Amino acid sequence: MALVYEFMPRGDLHNFLYSTQDSEGSSCLNYISLAERLSIMVDVSDALAYVHHNHQGTIVHCDLKPRNILLDDDMVAHVGDFGLARFKFDTTSPSLVDSTSTSSLTIKGTIGYIAPEYAAGGQVSTAADVYSFGVVLLEIFIRRSPTDDMFKDGMTIAKLTEINFPDNVFQIVDPQLLQELEQREDITMTIRDSGAQTLRSVLSIGLCCTKTSPNERISMQDVATKLHEIRDAYLRGNLRTSSQ
């Protein structure tokens, strides 16, 4: 027997973020626009919201990270590798499955993306997936791996964001995004302002997802709703301004 999966031509998100060689052999990072990053995280949030809340029971992924997010030819993101996933079924009333429900199974995952409660012997929960999602969200907009050498002695990607939020976020976000918002002549001041507010709104969600206490984190349903609103508002603003 064999499992046949749809081919993902653009590979995984980690390689897409950090690849430094183009088809001509020159060294450069892939260009990823603000709109593309928003859409990627909307896709991932929709996938996690489904397995957490809209399935016949609850599925906890347990290892969400950029290497497990695959991109198709249209830059649509797909969450893969459910090899560590944990299942909690409640066929009588799936809606009553608590977002912090746990499992006694051995916890595994990837350093940098694992929720802090796991280090203290915590159990599997959807709130831990939310934490991992928050790390990935911050990573894609800051473009630094949570295992980067700068993150040591208690400093994490979430802590870095918190320290610089909201006034100094432009000092930590991916320079490509700043170039998109500040240097392109075809972008109006209205779009620049909209982009700046969009970045702050997205990073705020990342901070809500990476709260130290799992009980303080928002659900993936709320995350997905907020990200849809942010992306749609940003795209509407771009469309309205470009048509004037």
- Contacting residues for 73 by C-beta, under 8 A, at least 6 apart: 9, 10
User: Per the structure block, which two tokens stand in for 10?
Assistant: 């653009």
Q: Which helix (H) or strand (E) holds 194?
A: helix 189-209
Catalytic residue chosen out of the listed positions 12, 43, 46, 63 = 63
Q: Is 63 part of the annotated catalytic residue set?
A: yes
- Nearest one of 153, 97, 141, 128 to 234, comparing CA atoms: 141
CB 169 within 8 A of CB 203: yes
- Contacting residues for 165 by C-beta, under 8 A, at least 6 apart: 200, 203, 204, 207
CB 166 within 8 A of CB 143: no
Active-site residue list:
63
